[in-house]
Amino acid sequence: MEKSFTQLLTSNNPADEHQIPDIRAAILDAQRQLFSLDQRLAELELIDNVVDADGWDTATVLQIRDEELARVLRLQSVLSPFRRLPPEILAVIFSFALPGEKGVPMDANSPFWRFSQVCRVWRNVVCEGMQQIWSSIEIDCMKVERTNLTSTLLELALQRSGTRSLSIRFCFSARNRMDVLSQKEEKCWNLLTNESFRWKELELNHIPIVVLGSLSAAVKSRMPLLRRLVIENVPMSHTLDTPSTAEAFEIAPQLEHFTLSGYFRPSRFQLPWSQLTSYSGSFRDIRDFLIVLACANNLVTCDVFLRNYNAGFIVDHPNIRTLRMRGAMEGLSRLRLPFLQTLLLDELIIQDLSIISAFLRRTPSVSSLEVHIPHEIRGGDLMGVLMDFLSACRLISSLALMGEVDVMSVCSLLNVSEARLLIPRLRDLSLSIWSTTNEELLESLGAMIESRCHRAGWGEDVVCVPLASLTLQGLRVPDVMLQRLKPLEEVLGLKVTVKA
């Protein structure tokens, strides 16, 4: 009977309709055998003899019982619903084995590579039905230095990706200080440069400056699809013939985004700067940042970390709509961004609020502001600084105050009274909440919300926009606070959101 479905025991193919009755009959027969063996074991326990009348001992019965149990499990697996999943669903399940959005790792120990070794069905799904997955490739030479399979796996991945555009993440070994690639790195890098005409996204981590300079001969004018270029953690070069410029990416007709960090200044890159719409990078000198702004005159989004500040000329940029900045906030004083809409500022100190206030007053186009103060503010004229800051936010409609912010003082200042109305256009407010709170803070928060929702009109020339949403962020927002805000949410139409 089992001959009709023997091949199913060594594959993951689903059973046909005419095979299912035979499989169920075989399972029933094996279960009867198990029941019979269990009875024989019970009889052996009752008699004093080690061997029964048929010459069977306990060890023999146990061995046969284990074999029958394994047979039952194999037969039951043939009827598993998992075998009937369509290839499209299997592909989705397999994709969850990938680490985030980095792509397929060129590491034989990755579960994704093992899927193709289970059976023919799974291999067909992985190798032929998931070309979009194979077109996203990650090589981390610091993690797989002990294996020599990296280049072999890369060749397979490139073959399985078909003709799709490629997203590459290549992390070079950071241990070599002489800018010389290992044999494995060089072989993988050559395989990738041969496919540069398919690059859509390229992320290079710890790439030696010498390699960066020599890249031009291999890929220049051969990157028609490249849209996103990320070069991070460029190490300091210890060779005497360090190239002065990187010309490889000078011709990339679709390049839109560039990220740079490390020991290679952006001014040394020959790029189609005027094409870029977004830039992200870390600057050791603010002058490099200003040079980028001057060259990339069509930037819309900019994310920068400034390590220092130097006084000097001012740069006007008419197109930037979103700016995220960390580090030396004094750099804001050298920027004129007349159409900036969203401003995100991280790692602030109390003195930075005065700089931000001055920037907001001469940049009335900003409507969304997020500031993060990682350390508790103490000493000085805190209320005075906050008052000046919130006064400068008069045209802000979305405000997020994250980190160690004095929520009590903020609520007190935002409370609308006959004599004071700060940020009249405010509709969306986000605050960081500590894990512990007190009744006074609850009342202050509730009173602020009610005052801003009930005073739709404040004067003839100024209108107070009702607060529409409140977002509380913290490791644990106290339940008593949520209970206090629930009635306000229902009565005032306020949307309250809690984020961990």
pLDDT at position 114, please?
80
Distance in angstroms (rounded) separating the CA atoms of residues 98 and 415:
49
Q: Is the pLDDT of residue 344 over 90?
A: yes
DSSP state of 466: P
pLDDT at position 321, please?
95
More confident residue, 42 or 491: 42
Cβ neighbour number for residue 293 with a 10 Å cutoff: 20
Q: Is the pLDDT of residue 261 over 60?
A: yes
Tokens at 415, concatenated: 């409370």
Q: Does 264 map to a domain?
A: no
Q: Does 441 map to a domain?
A: yes
Given 44, 62, 84, which residue is the final one in a domain? Answer: 84
CA distances from 414 to 34, 76, 386, 404 (A): 76, 67, 10, 18
Q: Does 48 map to a domain?
A: yes
pLDDT at position 32, please?
82
Q: How many domains does the chain have?
A: 2
Q: Is the pLDDT of residue 166 over 80?
A: yes
pLDDT at position 500, please?
63
Q: Is the pLDDT of residue 379 over 60?
A: no
In this structure, what is the dihedral angle of CA atoms 290, 292, 296, 297, given to the nearest 10 degrees? 0
Q: Is the pLDDT of residue 362 over 90?
A: yes
Secondary structure E strands in 291-374:
301-306, 315-316, 322-327, 335-336, 342-345, 368-373
> Please, which pLDDT band fits residue 352 given cuts at 50, 70 and 90?
confident
Q: Is the pLDDT of residue 461 over 80?
A: no
Q: Is the pLDDT of residue 152 over 70?
A: yes
Nearest alpha-carbon partner for 145 in 172, 113, 168:
172
DSSP state of 160: H
pLDDT in tens, 441-454: 777 888 888 887 76
Q: Is the pLDDT of residue 460 over 60?
A: no
Given 37, 59, 84, which residue is the final one in a domain? Answer: 84
pTM: 0.77
Mean pLDDT of 339-363: 90
pLDDT in tens, 180-189: 777 888 888 8
Cβ neighbour number for residue 365 with a 10 Å cutoff: 12
Highest mean pLDDT: which of 13-17, 364-368, 419-423?
364-368
Q: Does 411 map to a domain?
A: yes
Nearest alpha-carbon partner for 287 in 316, 305, 313, 263:
313
Q: Does 253 map to a domain?
A: no
pLDDT at position 437, please?
60
Given 61, 84, 107, which residue is the final one in a domain? Answer: 84
> Among residues of the chain, what percentage have pLDDT more than 90?
22
Of the given ranges (17-21, 346-350, 365-369), which has the lowest mean pLDDT? 17-21
Q: Does 35 map to a domain?
A: yes
- Relative to beta strand 335-336, strand 322-327 is unpaired
What's the CATH number where 357 sits?
3.80.10
DSSP string over 197-239: GGEEEEEEES--HHHHHHTHHHHTT--TT--EEEEEEEPPP-S
Q: Is the pLDDT of residue 305 over 80?
A: yes
Q: Is the pLDDT of residue 423 over 70?
A: yes
Q: Coil, helix or strand for 300?
A: coil
| Domain ranges, residue 29 | 2-84
Distance in angstroms (rounded) separating the CA atoms of residues 27 and 252:
63
Q: What is the rounded average pLDDT for all residues in the chain?
A: 80
Dihedral sign for Cα 444, 450, 454, 456, please.
Answer: positive
**Residues sharing a CB contact under 8 Å with residue 224, sequence separation 6 or more, in sequence order:** 197, 252, 253, 254
Of the given ranges (77-81, 270-274, 413-417), which has the lowest mean pLDDT? 77-81
Mean pLDDT of 208-212: 81
> Please, which pLDDT band fits residue 200 given cuts at 50, 70 and 90?
very high
Q: Does 458 map to a domain?
A: yes
pLDDT in tens, 218-240: 888 999 999 999 999 887 765 54
pLDDT in tens, 20-67: 777 777 778 778 887 887 777 777 776 665 666 566 777 777 888 888
pLDDT at position 201, please?
95
Q: Does 440 map to a domain?
A: yes
> Please, which pLDDT band fits residue 101 given cuts at 50, 70 and 90?
low
